[in-house]
Structure 1
């Protein structure tokens, strides 16, 4: 497969800068492997986006491999950049807490299950509204999995306040605020795909998913559930201490700006993940004012192929003719 021709690939350059400033040795191995796989498949995709994105129509037609492909393919370098920077934060934090084996397990299960929940939600919307265009909406990207990881992260690190576009929001509800914000700021993003990720995260933290995963792991490990609650240290002795005091999880959130974390790594420029994301949104909006085609900032829906537009129009006409 030929690598993509994407000009300067500024998003890739910025991602590389973030990684090397953080230090490759300071990134836990599973997080680094997941990041590397996403970058590799962006440069050398296994299939075109329209054949990798997940939709009810394609999967019901028998192309179930899209459940594996869709989380690992991205629309452009900025789409990849935003998702991978978010993975760096969440992955490092969670892998340090849960251990590499369990975190890899979570990534695998969440990647598959987010696609399944997405299909069920789209099918339900189609049946409830009698609008069959929902079955044709095709989503691609890792952001659904990241929303699930955000729910898990807030579960293991409860409390604190997240700054969402200047508004303090409890971490307990931050994922819901971001779900709405991203959809409003970038209408091309997959609202249902992100919602699916949140629901999968809730199934893990407040539903039966974690227990089922432990049982399955127990069978695979010959009676051991393979799960550890202790922290695992994967970091070098260079002084990088992870993310304590960042990401909006502060014991005294109202004072966090006046008490900067002395261990904050310089690669963030002193910004939390949410502040970086806000800056990225603003930069994306400024760029769109000069661009002829908007680039989604955080996951997106692939538009239908040109040949299916007439079919989509007929479905809608049939809906309103009833």
Structure 2
């Protein structure tokens, strides 16, 4: 899970180009801050990837809870960063304007940690169901789980839209599920459990008690 060194980070350069095309003045503050944080930690990681990724073994058994905070904001390589941050750019612009910056920042913070917890629960279930302890060691990094959760929110606040997934026109209500399967088939190395955790947390917010709990904790 080490980054390839000694090469031009084409994905990072393309990401910076995309951001410049949108214009910094057109990107809401929290979205811009998330982009900046991810880019900064890509260039200046807190620790090597094997020491920030989240897994059942590291997060639960070894009690390295700090990984819940670090893993979403570190990426395996520049293209991992590019695809996640371009997705964050557009989702953030739409959702932050809808939800307002303070609440959107609150959502990002809660989702980032909670998705890691749900991810560990899913991997632990796989260990028990499949009787395969290797799932305890499966270590994940990246912001994609949060992005799947934000996709659920975006579809919730913009119902009736149609999304294109691999050229297929899918109702936005089901697009995240189709995309979950499609990404896993195209790139088997991606974290299926991490993406599923994002969808589940998004549903916990839009259909479950999470939004009420967050409001209660915020004193609203």
TM-score of the two chains, using structure 1 as the length reference: 0.66
2:95 aligned partner: 94
| Residue 40 (structure 1) aligned with residue 51 (structure 2) | no
CA contact (8 A) 1:4 1:42 kept: no
Deviation at 1:28, TM superposition (A): 0.1
Deviation at 1:64, TM superposition (A): 1.1
**Which stretches of structure 1, 4 residues or more, deviate above 6 A after TM superposition?**
none
CA distance, structure 2, for counterparts of residue 150 and residue 58 of structure 1 = 28
1:115 aligned partner: 116
Q: Which runs of 5+ in 2 are unaligned?
A: none
Rg larger in 1 or in 2? 1
RMSD: 1.2
CA distance, structure 2, for counterparts of residue 120 and residue 6 of structure 1 = 37
| Superposed CA offset, 1:190-232 (max 9, x none) | 00000000000000000000000011111xxxxxx2xxxxxxx
| Residue 143 (structure 1) aligned with residue 144 (structure 2) | yes
2:54 aligned partner: 54
Q: Which runs of 5+ in 1 are unaligned?
A: 219-224, 226-322
Q: Give the secondary structure class of the aligned counterpart of 1:14.
A: helix
| Superposed CA offset, 1:240-277 (max 9, x none) | xxxxxxxxxxxxxxxxxxxxxxxxxxxxxxxxxxxxxx
Instruction: Tell which has more relative contact order, 1 or 2 (C-alpha 8 A, sep 6+).
Output: 1
1:268 aligned partner: none
Deviation at 1:127, TM superposition (A): 1.2
1:272 aligned partner: none
| Residue 29 (structure 1) aligned with residue 29 (structure 2) | yes
CA contact (8 A) 1:15 1:85 kept: yes
Q: Give the secondary structure class of the aligned counterpart of 2:151.
A: helix
How many residue pairs get matched? 217
CA contact (8 A) 1:4 1:44 kept: no
1:186 aligned partner: 187
CA contact (8 A) 1:35 1:84 kept: yes
1:166 aligned partner: 167
CA distance, structure 2, for counterparts of residue 8 and residue 58 of structure 1 = 32
CA distance, structure 2, for counterparts of residue 157 and residue 52 of structure 1 = 35
CA contact (8 A) 1:126 1:135 kept: yes
CA contact (8 A) 2:4 2:77 kept: no
Map 1:1-322; keep pairs closer than 5 Å.
Answer: 5-59=5-59, 60-218=61-219, 225=220
Whichever structure has more helix as a proportion of its residues is 2
| Superposed CA offset, 1:72-96 (max 9, x none) | 0000000000000000010110000
1:244 aligned partner: none
CA contact (8 A) 1:53 1:140 kept: yes
CA distance, structure 2, for counterparts of residue 169 and residue 129 of structure 1 = 32
CA distance, structure 1, for counterparts of residue 4 and residue 33 of structure 2 = 21
